[in-house]
Each structure stands twice: as structure tokens, then as C-alpha cells.
């Protein structure tokens, strides 16, 4: 198969981890006789330095014309104090919106090889932990009306959380289809005891669940979900939630595995175009030292091959190679036993 992949290395550890993931892509290309045509473009802080903005129209166009996008990470100290609308993170949000990547898939898998680095007790991790957070990615408070105004000489800031029925339904369907395919249960996470947008969220999720009678379904408040992820994570199959709750809960979930450096993600649209990136950030404190864990990015490539290109064997080969590397005790510093650091 011939595929065009846009590579956005980004900032901080981005270039280092993406370079490792490209080695994996090249290996798959050879082993399975595919042709991966890689294109590179500026993004994030690197784009601010060159073009004054984190995401240019040119990069958007290249992304739209690609079969998928591989992203490292964006942001860093250097761009922390610039105007909000020009920050590297705003480029990421704009790219998600422009590519209509409304479904963010964030798997949490416990690796028994790394059990020593999980902060959870063995009585919790000895049960199978393998769940997926399906995070709505192009709506909610991230994209609602934002403003800071001055009333009677004092500043007041607003961020509005808005959801339409259609936006909730389309992410709900992604989650239920995934639950059906993977034979997992669904927990819909909201704050329906307080928020209007969550009441609508719950109403729509309950309605969808009527069409998926074979999928076990329950609702959970987000504060309770934050607690249950730590105290009883093996209960979860698919967790579907709105944008900001998903942002927070997926960072929390990632530490179960022992390191956020292990957690990949896929952001999907209604076509096969997707964007794949580790869930961790640009880690400017360790950038340039070549010590960052590339596994999250390599596993993001595995997700790309499976979800955008339908290359199941290729994807599995990458997952198995990662497991083998762990079995053979290859470790970056974030997943090293304390006495070996
Ligand atoms: C993530 C990140 C982004 C988000 C930031 C960098 C804007 O935290 O992908 O989880 O909040 O979505
Ligand atoms: Mg986040």
C-alpha cells in the first residue's frame, strides 16, 4: 500500500521521539512492502519562530491532503509568555478543528513488565487493566466563547462549555461501536448533577445505549470517575467523556501504567484521516538529552497503521516488538527500576 504521512515533529522532545517512530515506520515499510511517503512541516513553537504563528495555512493544507498525520509534541518555556492566541497549544487546537478530529482515543494498558513503576498497589493492578478513554475533541469548553472583560475596573473571565446534541451523538456512536467491536462495557462520564451540557450529554448517551442493548452501559459523575480510575480501574472498558474531562482523566489514567511516556493516542475524523500523537507533552526539561521514552509515539504509529490504514498485522507487529523490548529489559529512565537509575 502507498500512503502519504505528514510528520509534525514539534518542540521539546518531539523531534527525538518522532525520529525513533520513523525508524519503526521504515522497518514496517520494508518488511511488509509498503510505501510510506513522509512529508515534514512546521508546527508549534518551531512554526512560531519561523512564521510568527503556530500553525500556517500551508501546514493545514498538507495535513488535509495526507492520509494521516504523526505528531510529536508542542510547546516549551520559550513560548510560554506570548499572547494566548499565538501559543503553540492554540495551533494544536486549530489543527484538531480544521481536520475535524472529534474523536480522541486514549488507551490505558497496564504492562506487567513495568509493575514496579505503577503507583498503584498490587491488589489493584493484579486485575486486568485495559480500558480506552474516548474523549470528545472538537467541542466543549475548549472551543466555546472565551473572553476576559473589565467590569467596574475588575477583570472577569469566561469560558463557555457548549455541546450540541449532534456533537454528543457522533462521539457516543464512536464509543459504542468500539465497545461492540472490543466486547467492552461503556461508562459515560459527566457532571449531570450540576452542568446543563452534561445533562444533555447523559440524555443523548442513554438514548444511544437503547440501540446497543448488548453493550453494558452506565453513567458516572466525573469526580467519582477520577477516584474509581485509581481505586478500581479494572471495572472500565470504554470511558466516553467530553473534551476537558477527557483531558484530565487521560493524564490520570496514564500514570497507572507507570509512566505517561507509555501512552499513545489517536484523533479520528469521519474519514480515515487521523492524527496520532503521544499523550504526553514536549517535556522541555529533558529535551535534547535523548532520554525521552519513545514508546508512546511508537505505539501511536501502531494505532495509525491499524485505524487509518487497516494494517492490522503491521500494527500487531509493532505492539509485539514493544513488548519484546520490555521483556528484554530495555528501559528509558522514566520506566527504570529506582535502583538502576
Ligand atoms: C492533550 C494536551 C492538550 C489538550 C494541550 C497541549 C492543548 O494536554 O492533548 O491532552 O489540552 O488537549
Ligand atoms: Mg492533556
How many angstroms does the Cα of residue 243 sit away from the middle of ligand 1? 10
Per-position pLDDT tens, the chain of length 341 = 999 999 999 999 999 999 999 999 999 999 999 999 999 999 999 999 999 999 999 999 999 999 999 999 999 999 999 998 899 999 999 999 999 999 999 999 999 999 999 999 999 999 999 999 999 999 999 999 999 999 999 999 999 999 999 999 999 999 999 999 999 999 999 999 999 999 999 999 999 999 999 999 999 999 999 999 999 999 999 999 999 999 999 999 998 988 999 999 999 999 999 999 999 999 999 999 999 999 999 999 999 999 999 999 999 999 999 999 999 999 999 999 988 87
- Cβ neighbours of residue 60 closer than 8 Å, sequence gap 6 or more: 94, 95, 98, 99
**If we measure between CA atoms, which residue out of 306, 326, 328 comes closest to residue 317?**
306
> What pLDDT is attached to residue 73?
96
Q: Which three cell numbers stand for residue 199?
A: 445533562
Residue 159 known to be catalytic: no
Q: Quickly list H helices, the chain.
A: 14-31, 45-51, 57-64, 88-98, 122-125, 165-182, 196-209, 222-231, 243-254, 295-307, 312-327
Residue 191 known to be catalytic: yes
SS3 105: strand
CATH 3.40.718.10 fits 1-104+261-341, yes or no: yes
- Cβ neighbours of residue 303 closer than 8 Å, sequence gap 6 or more: 105, 264, 265, 266, 276, 315
> What pLDDT is attached to residue 258?
83
**If we measure between CA atoms, which residue out of 16, 18, 17 comes closest to residue 7?**
18
* The CATH classification of domain 119-257, taken from the options 3.40.640.10, 3.40.718.10, 3.20.20.70, 3.40.47.10: 3.40.718.10
How many angstroms does the Cα of residue 247 sit away from the middle of ligand 2? 4
Which ligand lies nearest the alpha carbon of 265? 1
Residue having the nearest C-alpha atom to atom 10 of ligand 1: 247
C-alpha to C-alpha distance for 49 and 46, rounded to whole angstroms:
5
Which ligand lies nearest the alpha carbon of 141? 1
Q: Give all strands of the β-sheet with 186-190 in edge-to-edge order.
A: 35-40, 2-10, 68-73, 274-278, 264-268, 103-109, 130-136, 238-241, 186-190, 217-221
Choosing from 49, 223, 285, 313, which is the catalytic residue? 223
Residue 32 has φ and ψ, to the nearest 5°, of -110, 10
pLDDT in tens, 283-308: 999 999 999 999 999 999 999 999 99
89 lines ligand 1 (CB under 6 A): yes
> What pLDDT is attached to residue 185?
98
247 lines ligand 1 (CB under 6 A): yes
Residue 247 known to be catalytic: yes
Angle among Cα 171, 58, 162 to the nearest 5 degrees reads 30
Residue having the nearest C-alpha atom to atom 11 of ligand 1: 247
Residue 223 known to be catalytic: yes
C-alpha to C-alpha distance for 203 and 199, rounded to whole angstroms:
6
CATH 3.40.718.10 domain range(s) in the chain: 1-104+261-341, 119-257
State how far Cα 298 lies from the chain centre: 13
11 lines ligand 1 (CB under 6 A): no
Instruction: Name the CA dihedral angle for 89, 263, 188, 192, rounded to a multiple of 10 degrees.
Output: -40
Amino acid at each position: 500500500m502507498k500512503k502519504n504521512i505528514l510528520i509534525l515533529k514539534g518542540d521539546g522532545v518531539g523531534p527525538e521521539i518522532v525520529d525513533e517512530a520513523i525508524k519503526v515506520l521504515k522497518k514496517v515499510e520494508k518488511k511488509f512492502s509498503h510505501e510510506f511517503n513522509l512529508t515534514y512541516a512546521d508546527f508549534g513553537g518551531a512554526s512560531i519562530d519561523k512564521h510568527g504563528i503556530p500553525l500556517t495555512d500551508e501546514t493545514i493544507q498538507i495535513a488535509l491532503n495526507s492520509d494521516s498525520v504523526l505528531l510529536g509534541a508542542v510547546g516549551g518555556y520559550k513560548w510560554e509568555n506570548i499572547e494566548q492566541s499565538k501559543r503553540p497549544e492554540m495551533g494544536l487546537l486549530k489543527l484538531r478543528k480544521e481536520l475535524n478530529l472529534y474523536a480522541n482515543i486514549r488507551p490505558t494498558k497496564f504492562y506487567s513488565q513495568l509493575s514496579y513503576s505503577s503507583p498503584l498497589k498490587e491488589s489493584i493492578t493484579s486485575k486486568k487493566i485495559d480500558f480506552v478513554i474516548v474523549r470528545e475533541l472538537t467541542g466543549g469548553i475548549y472551543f466555546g466563547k472565551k473572553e476576559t472583560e473589565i467590569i467596574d475596573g475588575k477583570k472577569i473571565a469566561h469560558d463557555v462549555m457548549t455541546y450540541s446534541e449532534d456533537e454528543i451523538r457522533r462521539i457516543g456512536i464512536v464509543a459504542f461501536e468500539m465497545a461492540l467491536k472490543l466486547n467492552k462495557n461503556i461508562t459515560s462520564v459527566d457532571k449531570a448533577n450540576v452542568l446543563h451540557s452534561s445533562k444533555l450529554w447523559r440524555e443523548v448517551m442513554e438514548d444511544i445505549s437503547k440501540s446497543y442493548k448488548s453493550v453494558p452501559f452506565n453513567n458516572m459523575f466525573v469526580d467519582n470517575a477520577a477516584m474509581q480510575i485509581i481505586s478500581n480501574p479494572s471495572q472500565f472498558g470504554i470511558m466516553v467523556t467530553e473534551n476537558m474531562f477527557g483531558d484530565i482523566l487521560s493524564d490520570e489514567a496514564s500514570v497507572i501504567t507507570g509512566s505517561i511516556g507509555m501512552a499513545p493516542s489517536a484523533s479520528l475524523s469521519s474519514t480515515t484521516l487521523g492524527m496520532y500523537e503521544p499523550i504526553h507533552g514536549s517535556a522541555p526539561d529533558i529535551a535534547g538529552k535523548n532520554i525521552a521514552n519513545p514508546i508512546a509515539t511508537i505505539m501511536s504509529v501502531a494505532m495509525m497503521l491499524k485505524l487509518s490504514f487497516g494494517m492490522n498485522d503491521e500494527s500487531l507487529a509493532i505492539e509485539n516488538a514493544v513488548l519484546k523490548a520490555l521483556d528484554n529489559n530495555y528501559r528509558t529512565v522514566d520506566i527504570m527500576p529506582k535502583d538502576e537509575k
